[in-house]
Structure 1
């Protein structure tokens, strides 16, 4: 009886996801979707600009009240903006440079054979039962390096699964769930922690509240979240996603030949090259007088903030290029500088589809920002929740769901928090809920829906990655594949928050739930 029940449940889940996939794939090409969305924004901007009322909110970054109204794109000034900013929107699209620069290095490592051989070596020593968990965990931990996980861990997840004889789309999904769905979680402090804490403190200051939080305000909870999301991501991958995808029947064939003595020598030389590079970077970064550190004018301390925001991606390029070159040189794949350039060229060829998508995605994101529609949606929604008057745990859960919903319209976590924090942090503080708790609730909702919104900056890139293994993959395929992760993550993460709330556990060092 139990077996029949499970079979029926699996059929229902698979049928539901297939329907989601059909609906999604019935949509036009992603590039056309962004064109349609851009046209919709243009029309709505005109309507709201003529009929809407101004919106006032406290901007924590600017430390002042800001009043805005919708800006129309259907007038002379708007039309000039559409034409005059098109090229700048494209070249200034943040994920574009990140992806292309990192892929230059990754391309060398892949073309030389280093990635395939390394993964082959790794798979021979890793218990197959732990493979999924390792991929999800690696994705979660990658947010230490900000957005680097999108361009490194996700494609590697697909390759690892393919090498193990499993569906590469499932590996891509598991890595994507970890990188993007688990973006806030980690075992150590990442770049997001001080960023959000700074905005929270500005919100408290603006409300005349004499209370400040540190970058470690959510550390304990996020450490526990890392293990929870690893478990949930592994469960969804193996029990739902892989069963729904079925056996892989695509054209991609991993290289399963045995590792030769020459390849082992190449791995050793690549490892030595990597070690030297890491030591050099440590010398430049770790000492207080390290050359990559910049003195903060306010604190007088030398920090790596500028490097983490600008220099990290070129470092990733070298992190792959140097060992990739050493490996290729050892096995004879790279004989001259021409071969090195050929490797980078091949990497760029595979990104042609992403370049096309990026152009139209950049226009849509720019229009949404220029018209102020993203801010208006967020502020109006925040004001609505404020008037409802929720208290205690229902307010926390409601805020998680609201943050998850708003994330479908605004991709930047810091931008959303700069708008929402001045409203919700003081309000929940006066209701006895700590700013640390409010920030955690925001991070749960914000991360959980990253993997199902096409408005997320890297979503188009993930579609391109998936099409490498299944040419028929589209937005619908990816959304239907990732939907079980999103639902499971937000439910499981909220339950963890509920348990934490009732037990009254500290969210971080000296950071408690109630005031």
Structure 2
């Protein structure tokens, strides 16, 4: 998509591939929408926090404000870096190597049935959101939390359930109209195919759950967390410095462990309690992790998406190699690390909530 868009604008498709890759990978944890990754991170954070405070709750929207603002902020950063520096390199100028635009195949067109299905799903989406919004406004609604709290409402605390329900309704409606889902009995087989694609993640979560259980049972996490907290307390380091050091450490570790879920499953039982003993909220630690886990995604050859992006680049530049991709991604990753950390520091300094009902201090 990036290559086609840049080529249509008379620019190098190679530049389009690289911009799309860096934007998606280095800014992975910045989104204006709540994502499955938010639900995974919040559940792991909550499990780790409960080793210190059994009643602590972390919702999937705990860092929503910061994440949404970061998505716009990083979009501006990558635009400035690309347009002012990288796009001026001669290797990213349009050339005959880019091939003929017609070679990319015919333009994609929606059929009349698909357009009708899209309109139907758009209407259902609006209706679903409207119904949920009304139920959150009505006093005494079962969706509201204790005392009519919106932050602790069923929608916020269990937002992943509502997202799953929404997409199940939209998917079934679209499939029925287009004929890809002939009947309700076909849904289990389709769901099985979808689950098969995420089977490695399910296996990972099984291992992670055992890992967390052993950490709680043995008390190793508490010992390490208390020891680490005592060390940091003896250094008398400001909380912001500790959080920024966490960003840098995670960014370096991300070069080797490219799965954010796996890495946070390992780090959360240690980092979160340690931060809590220092009177730093778990959500602040999670926010620091989000930054470090994103910025180096685009520069590690350990990532399967790095190889995938290189393959797309080689479609237009046959002699492109790892160095070609690294020469583009490293400058942006460094700028992302500095700029995003600076935004986090300003956010922390101003005391702006990370998400609904979640203050940094």
Deviates more, 1:234-243 or 1:504-513: 234-243
- Give the SS at the match of 1:303: helix
> Which residue does 2:296 correspond to in 1?
449
User: How far 1:454 moved relative to its partner?
Assistant: 1.2
User: How far 1:385 moved relative to its partner?
Assistant: 7.1
Q: 8 Å contact 1:252–1:469 — kept in the other structure?
A: yes
Partner of residue 228 from structure 1, selected from 73, 96, 100: 73
> Which residue does 2:121 correspond to in 1?
278
Q: 8 Å contact 1:163–1:255 — kept in the other structure?
A: no
Q: Distance in 2 between matches of 1:483 and 1:216?
A: 30
Q: 8 Å contact 1:425–1:438 — kept in the other structure?
A: yes
Q: 8 Å contact 2:6–2:15 — kept in the other structure?
A: yes
Within 5 Å, give how 1:244-283 maps onto structure 2.
244=89, 245-249=91-95, 250-255=97-102, 269=112, 272-273=115-116, 275=118, 278=121
Q: 8 Å contact 1:217–1:507 — kept in the other structure?
A: yes
The 1:177–1:308 alpha-carbon spacing in structure 2 relative to 1, beyond 3 Å, is farther
TM-score by length of 1: 0.48
Q: 8 Å contact 2:354–2:360 — kept in the other structure?
A: yes
1:158 aligns to 2:16 (yes or no): no
User: How far 1:276 moved relative to its partner?
Assistant: 5.3
> Which residue does 2:311 correspond to in 1?
464
1:191 aligns to 2:49 (yes or no): no
The 1:479–1:387 alpha-carbon spacing in structure 2 relative to 1, beyond 3 Å, is farther
Q: Distance in 2 between matches of 1:252 and 1:387?
A: 61
Aligned length: 283
Partner of residue 407 from structure 1, selected from 241, 254, 262: 254
User: How far 1:272 moved relative to its partner?
Assistant: 1.8
Q: 8 Å contact 2:229–2:278 — kept in the other structure?
A: no
Q: 8 Å contact 1:167–1:242 — kept in the other structure?
A: no
Q: 8 Å contact 2:228–2:274 — kept in the other structure?
A: no
- Give the SS at the match of 1:483: helix
Q: Distance in 1 between matches of 2:306 and 2:264?
A: 21
The 1:489–1:388 alpha-carbon spacing in structure 2 relative to 1, beyond 3 Å, is farther
> Which residue does 2:20 correspond to in 1?
175
- Is there any run of 5+ residues in structure 2 with no aligned partner, and where? 133-156, 179-199, 208-220
- Give the SS at the match of 2:320: coil
- Per-residue CA deviations over 1:378-399 (Å, capped at 9, x if unaligned) read x9xx989768524411101100
The 1:251–1:182 alpha-carbon spacing in structure 2 relative to 1, beyond 3 Å, is closer
- Per-residue CA deviations over 1:301-332 (Å, capped at 9, x if unaligned) read 993677899x9xxx7xx99xx7xxxxxxxxxx
- Give the SS at the match of 1:472: coil
Q: Distance in 2 between matches of 1:465 and 1:392?
A: 42
- Per-residue CA deviations over 1:210-247 (Å, capped at 9, x if unaligned) read 42221111011111101110100111111222112331
Q: Distance in 1 between matches of 2:336 and 2:347?
A: 16
User: How far 1:417 moved relative to its partner?
Assistant: 0.8
Within 5 Å, give how 1:50-449 maps onto structure 2.
156-244=1-89, 245-249=91-95, 250-255=97-102, 269=112, 272-273=115-116, 275=118, 278=121, 303=161, 389=232, 390-449=237-296
User: How far 1:161 moved relative to its partner?
Assistant: 0.2
The 1:162–1:219 alpha-carbon spacing in structure 2 relative to 1, beyond 3 Å, is same
Q: 8 Å contact 1:187–1:222 — kept in the other structure?
A: yes
Q: Distance in 2 between matches of 1:301 and 1:473?
A: 43
Q: 8 Å contact 1:218–1:508 — kept in the other structure?
A: yes
- Give the SS at the match of 2:298: helix
Q: Distance in 2 between matches of 1:301 and 1:179?
A: 23
TM-score by length of 2: 0.68
The 1:167–1:300 alpha-carbon spacing in structure 2 relative to 1, beyond 3 Å, is closer
